[in-house]
Amino acid sequence: MSMFEDNRYRWRETYFVLFDVRSRPRLKTVSETLAALNPRYELTQLNADEDGLIDSLTLISPDDFAAMDVCYIEGEEVFEQSVEMIKELKRAYGGAAPPVSWKQLQEYAGRLDVLHFERILEETGDDLDEDDGDMLNPSALLIVLNALATLTGGVIIDPQAGMIMLNDD
């Protein structure tokens, strides 16, 4: 079940981790890595392909009032969307050089989509960030993105902000 189907959560944003398809990690490696980041993270809906490589998973971080669906996509769809995304990123960067070359980004055919969700108040349906002092904590999202980029040797893209984010490692 996707977090879209859980009425306790509302989608906030989507981030991408672009990487070489040969670096697609095993689901077991991803789940062990993410579980080790915080003992309070709950991993569910773990799905792998026939070779044990990641297809998708859901991570819930109750302390951060957040959840994430992580889904693997590869091939032509990634290439086509990357061409448009790179055009938008180039506009956002103006003449400035990006932290990763445009050529390298264009060569990545693997992508993890990280859909970030916010837990909403059950009693009222109000958004937590509007009425309760920003209870949604983005730290889980940033930690997970960094871990996924490290595992894949990839690059984090924030398409809403038009930014390429480098992992901390």
Where do the structural domains in the chain lie, given as residue ranges? 3-165
* Residue 132, pLDDT score: 45
* Residue 169, pLDDT score: 58
Question: For residues 83 and 33, which has the higher predicted lDDT (pLDDT)?
Answer: 33
> Is the pTM value of this prediction over 0.85?
yes
pLDDT at 34 over 50: yes
* Residue 123, pLDDT score: 53
pLDDT tens digits for range 96-153: 888 888 888 988 999 999 999 999 976 544 544 444 445 788 899 999 999 999 999 9
Cα of first residue to Cα of last residue in the chain, in angstroms, is 32
Q: What are phi and psi of 24, to 5 degrees?
A: -60, 120
* Residue 1, pLDDT score: 62
Q: What is the 3-state secondary structure (H, E, C) of 29-93?
A: HHHHHHHHHCCCCEEEEEEECCCCEEEEEEEEEHHHCEEEEEEEEECHHHHHHHHHHHHHHHHHH
